[in-house]
Amino acid sequence: MHIDVVSVFPEYFHILELSLLGKAQQSGLLQLRVHNLRDWTHDVHHSVDDTPVGGGAGMVMKPETWAECLDEVLPQTAATSHAKPILIFPNPSAPLFTQEVAQELSQAPSIAFGCGRYEGIDARVADYYRTIGMPDVNTRCTLDVREYSIGDYVLNGGEVAVCVMIEAITRLIPGFMGNPESIVKESYTGEPLLEYPQYTRPTTWRGISVPPILTSGDHAKVDRFRRDKSLEKTSVLRPDLIQCLDCHALDKADRKTLIALGWNVSGAHPVRSHNTH
């Protein structure tokens, strides 16, 4: 996968050289290029922002600098594939970036990210690349322009959000993980349940023992125990995820556990029964 990132703080992306992401870059599985937006400024102060038209607090990133930069960077992003290039702007006022989105984007041959700072980028930039696309006559095509938020809180800029997105996307590229099985059972892949608690040796530590079933050697019982712990944990911490489960996809034991946790499972999706707190 080829990833281009544009930011006024390219240093933020040094963390992507660590651990598995660093290895993926060394092996060529991932090609990451980070561009400094200020390289496309022409004034002595390398200014990239201006006051908002219509008034208000803060600064807005100027469209000219972004466009000069993207006109040069995007054809490089697109060069590696015939697919419609994807351009993503992190934005706290956008749809949520979910595991499903990460899964879809992990199939893309190339992605570009444009990190806004301050009050964001002039809104015409995303609109322009969505409707008019890239300028080069040979590569002229519209882009798949998207905006995503990583959660309901505000960060100072898009850099950290883009690091999060890149990590979530690239670890799903086939061959990225040493052990691809560890992805299969994770929270949010497939059925959206939180993961059961994990333990390692010693089986008793500071007087606290691991649940004895886990050392029984009975794999069916271990699987059931873990499944029940997942359901229990999700019911307490993320009841919204339980409400999304498909009751018809639940086995008998799942239903029994959910009923005991205070859910009615006779409809299409679980609903809270009245006999609970």
Contact pattern from residue 138 through residue 177 relative to ligand 6GU, giving x for each residue in contact according to CB under 6 A and a dash for the rest: -----------xxx-xxx-xx--x----------------
Comparing CB distances to ligand 6GU, the nearer of 11 and 246 is 11
Shortest Å, Cβ 269 to ligand 6GU: 28
Shortest Å, Cβ 52 to ligand 6GU: 16
- Selected from 92, 109, 192, 211, the binder of ligand 6GU by CB under 6 A is 92
> H/E element holding 169?
helix 159-170
What whole-number distance in Å separates Cα of residue 245 and Cα of residue 255? Answer: 11
Give the residue closest to ligand 6GU by C-beta.
90
Shortest Å, Cβ 28 to ligand 6GU: 28
Binding footprint of ligand 6GU, residue count (CB under 6 A): 12
34, 137, 226 from 111: Cα distances, Å: 12, 21, 37
Number of residues written out for the chain: 277
Query: Facing residues of 269 across strands?
Result: none
Side-chain-side CA neighbours of 272 within 13 Å: the count stands at 10
Residue 33's nearest CA partner among 64, 69, 3, 65 is 3
Cβ 120 vs Cβ 126: under 8 Å: no
Comparing CB distances to ligand 6GU, the nearer of 118 and 225 is 118
Comparing CB distances to ligand 6GU, the nearer of 150 and 245 is 150
CA dihedral 11, 27, 174, 4 (to 10 degrees): 30
- Selected from 85, 90, 114, 133, the binder of ligand 6GU by CB under 6 A is 90
Comparing CB distances to ligand 6GU, the nearer of 93 and 200 is 93
Residue 162's nearest CA partner among 121, 202, 129, 116 is 116
Which residues here bind ligand 6GU, judged by CB under 6 A? Answer: 90-92, 149-151, 153-155, 157-158, 161
